């Protein structure tokens, strides 16, 4: 079995720069425990890439991603780039990576950890036992459909987006969903996925807890489902657990290391059991920690197990 992997590290903007290093440290620790070697290749993406190269997804970054076994992505975007034309906004980097890497299937598990039941604004009896998997199509539909854009129309302007899927695109994402459901409760419900995965975060207490895997091509991509959170960027406040749980998904789906993935999940649960919380999941009586401390606690817990 392969034991050495190349990981493209695209931390991006805002809190991406803080949470991704914690994911990398967890990978290094689990690598030592399981005899796995990781070769990290950093590349620039999003707003930072616009500043430096005028484009959110420079060719060099795409090349690093394509050559890697997997991509670990943080988040892109921020107020600084909000005024740019939509064709070169930071978010376009995400769409470009998905398209270029052929990542049509996005898995977004939303599980409520019992320790966080009070972190949700919803009532305990409503959310208890929540465990769902959003399977989101990523390379078809409204993000890529043509025609699109804003054009003059009579005496005003008119905006157009096109929601379009081919039969093949629908069949392959449905297959992913049905196969996943076979291993779960054998239920599939078809609805709109991006907003739904954000809403699912409310069930689990915080969007800072939700990981994701984007699969389909040779190189898979792993990222937290949340954004770059410019309001708390650079303050050591962000929750790194969504990234750390994305790393667990990476070990499971791309590296065939189910045991290592389980160990990471257990370490996260262990740290939550001890009452440590970042601000987004804190509730009265818990111990507030920052991004780095949370990462270190997970590693300490991993080493103990
Ligand atoms: C996500 C994000 C992206 C999406 C945006 C930034 C393009 O919301 O990954 O969920 O909608 O896919
Ligand atoms: Mg989203």
Q: What is the side-by-side strand order in the sheet with 131-137?
A: 37-42, 4-12, 70-75, 220-222, 213-215, 105-111, 131-137
Q: Are 60 and 43 in contact (CB under 8 A)?
A: yes
pLDDT digits (tens, 9 = 90+) for 266-294: 999 999 999 999 999 998 999 999 999 99
Backbone angles phi, psi at 39, to 5 degrees: -110, 105
Give the pLDDT of residue 121.
Answer: 87
Q: Are 228 and 13 in contact (CB under 8 A)?
A: yes
Q: Which atom of ligand 1 lies nearest, measured to the CA of 95?
A: 7
Ligand 1 atom 8: residue of nearest CA: 194
Backbone angles phi, psi at 129, to 5 degrees: 85, 5
Spacing, Cα 175 to ligand 2 middle (Å):
22
* Neighbouring residues of the ion ligand 2, judged by CB less than 5 Å: 194
Q: Is 223 in the pocket of ligand 1 (CB under 6 A)?
A: no
Sign (positive or negative) of CA dihedral 241, 245, 250, 251? positive
pLDDT cut 90: percent of the chain above it = 91
129 band by pLDDT with thresholds 50, 70 and 90: very high
In CATH terms, is domain 3-304 a member of 3.30.830.10?
no
pLDDT at 163 over 90: yes
Number of CB atoms found within 10 A of residue 97's CB? 27
Q: Are 199 and 209 in contact (CB under 8 A)?
A: no
198 band by pLDDT with thresholds 50, 70 and 90: confident
Number of CB atoms found within 10 A of residue 197's CB? 22
Least confident segment among 81-90, 194-203, 259-268, 295-304? 194-203
Spacing, Cα 1 to ligand 1 middle (Å):
34
Task: Output b/e per residue, 134-150; b: 16+ Cβ within 10 A.
Answer: bbbbbbbbebeeeeeee
Give the pLDDT of residue 114.
Answer: 92
Show the DSSP H helices in 147-286 as ranges. Answer: 167-182, 193-204, 241-253, 258-273
Name the token pair of 296.
């270190």
* Average pLDDT value for the chain: 96
The residue to which tokens 């695209």 are assigned? 10
């Amino acid at each position: 079995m392969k034991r050495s992997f190349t990981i493209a590290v695209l931390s991006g903007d805002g809190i991406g720069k803080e949470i991704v290093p914690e994911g990398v440290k967890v990978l290094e620790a689990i690598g030592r425990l399981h005899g796995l070697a990781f070769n990290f290749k950093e590349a620039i993406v999003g707003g930072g890439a616009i500043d430096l190269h005028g484009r959110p997804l420079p060719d060099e970054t795409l090349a690093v991603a394509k050559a890697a076994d997997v991509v670990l992505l943080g988040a892109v975007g921020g107020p600084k780039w909000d005024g740019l034309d939509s064709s070169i906004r930071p978010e376009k980097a995400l769409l470009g990576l998905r398209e270029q890497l052929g990542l049509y299937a996005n898995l977004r598990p939303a599980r409520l950890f019992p320790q966080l039941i009070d972190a949700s604004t919803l009532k305990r009896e409503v959310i208890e036992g929540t465990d769902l998997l959003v399977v989101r199509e990523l390379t078809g539909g409204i993000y890529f459909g043509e025609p699109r854009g804003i054009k003059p129309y009579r005496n005003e302007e008119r905006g157009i987006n096109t929601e379009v899927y081919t039969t093949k695109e629908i069949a392959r994402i449905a297959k992913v969903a049905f196969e996943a459901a076979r291993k779960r409760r054998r239920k599939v419900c078809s609805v709109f996925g991006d907003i739904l995965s954000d809403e699912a975060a409310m069930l689990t207490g915080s969007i800072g807890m939700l990981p994701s895997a984007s699969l389909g091509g040779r190189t898979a991509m792993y990222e937290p489902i949340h954004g770059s959170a410019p309001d708390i960027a650079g303050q050591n406040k962000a929750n790194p657990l969504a990234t750390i749980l994305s790393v667990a998904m990476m070990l499971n789906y791309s590296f065939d290391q189910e045991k290592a993935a389980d160990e990471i999940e257990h370490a996260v649960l262990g740290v939550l059991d001890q009452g440590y919380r970042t601000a987004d999941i804190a509730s009265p009586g818990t111990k507030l920690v920052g991004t780095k401390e949370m990462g270190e606690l997970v590693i300490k817990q991993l080493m103990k197990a």
